[in-house]
């Protein structure tokens, strides 16, 4: 993978940090995108192939500046890992409009804006093409209680992935989605104490090492552009997904 370039959004923590470091370890030059410059610097850990670009994925100008920086630094883009997202809880009855908008702006609009800029670069570079991996979720298929904003946006990401895959054929751009259930990150720490289930009970849920997510992304990214993992589901073996509810 020496010489290949990537953008990872949400790279300042959690899965984004794990994926970014795995790509750097595999020889990629990686632009680290996220809101907090200090967190991006911690992810980079002094690696000369890491480019930290503080970015608000919900802001079109900020996203455009990210991809302009990649183009100026490296001249091309081979991979976008569209990972940035926020988890917003609340039922249809009580979710505030502000929280709904925050979820949509980050989880859906942010992914669209990044994909749009990535495709525009990939279609005009020589050689043409590249790959996009969208971070979906088990919630792209089955909701948790009180998760209407998160679930709606993650269902929408699936449509985004399919449309990018179809549109991208004209420019040799492949797009796939990884749907993750209970990778061990800061976001899933609360699962050890128990979280609400569809039957009204509170139960602890298992997690798995987030490194396996990074390994899966490396596999998807390593395929030639004439092959694509359209959807990949990776979960803790005994989490309540199959048979959820």
pTM for the model: 0.95
Question: What CATH number does residue 39 fall under?
Answer: 3.40.50.720
Determine the Cα angle at 201 with ends 198 and 206, to 5°. 80
Q: State the total domains in the chain.
A: 1
Q: Is residue 185 part of a domain?
A: yes
Q: What is the pLDDT along the chain (245 residues), one digit of tens a residue?
A: 568 999 999 999 999 999 999 999 999 999 999 999 999 999 999 999 999 999 999 999 999 999 999 999 999 999 999 999 999 999 999 999 999 999 999 999 999 999 999 999 999 999 999 999 999 999 999 999 999 999 999 999 999 999 999 999 999 999 999 999 999 887 777 888 899 998 899 999 999 999 999 999 999 999 999 999 999 999 999 998 876 65
User: Of residues 141, 150, 219, 241, which has the active-site annotation?
Assistant: 150
Q: Is residue 214 part of a domain?
A: yes
Q: Is residue 245 part of a domain?
A: no
Q: Is residue 241 part of a domain?
A: no
Q: Is residue 77 part of a domain?
A: yes
- 213 torsion bin: left (phi>0), alpha (psi -120 to 50), beta (else): alpha
Q: Is residue 243 part of a domain?
A: no
pLDDT confidence of residue 190: 83
Q: Is residue 39 part of a domain?
A: yes
Structural domain including 195 reads 5-235
Beta-sheet pairing, 5-9 with 50-54: unpaired
pLDDT confidence of residue 1: 52
- Respond yes or no: is residue 28 known to be catalytic: no
pLDDT confidence of residue 124: 97
Q: Is residue 244 part of a domain?
A: no
């Amino acid at each position: 993978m020496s010489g290949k370039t990537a953008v990872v959004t949400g790279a300042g923590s959690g899965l984004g940090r794990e994926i970014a470091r795995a790509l750097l370890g595999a020889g990629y030059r990686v632009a680290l995108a996220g809101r907090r410059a200090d967190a991006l610097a911690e992810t980079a850990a002094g690696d000369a192939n890491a480019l930290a670009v503080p970015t608000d994925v919900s802001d079109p100008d900020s996203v455009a500046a990210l991809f302009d920086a990649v183009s100026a630094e490296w001249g091309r883009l081979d991979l976008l890992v569209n990972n940035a997202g926020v988890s917003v809880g609340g039922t249809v009855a009580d979710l505030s409009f502000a929280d709904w908008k925050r979820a949509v702006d980050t989880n859906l609009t942010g992914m669209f804006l990044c994909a749009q800029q990535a495709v525009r670069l990939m279609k005009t570079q020589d050689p043409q093409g590249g790959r996009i991996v969208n971070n979906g979720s088990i919630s792209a298929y089955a909701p948790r209680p009180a998760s209407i904003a998160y679930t709606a946006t993650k269902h929408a990401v699936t449509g985004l992935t399919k449309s990018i895959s179809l549109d991208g054929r004209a420019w040799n751009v492949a797009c796939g989605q990884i749907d993750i259930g209970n990778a061990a990150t800061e976001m899933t720490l609360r699962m050890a104490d128990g979280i609400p289930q569809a039957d009204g009970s509170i139960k602890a849920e298992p997690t798995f090492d987030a490194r396996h997510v990074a390994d899966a992304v490396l596999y998807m990214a390593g395929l030639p552009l004439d092959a694509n993992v359209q959807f990949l589901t990776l979960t803790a073996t005994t989490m309540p997904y199959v048979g959820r509810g």
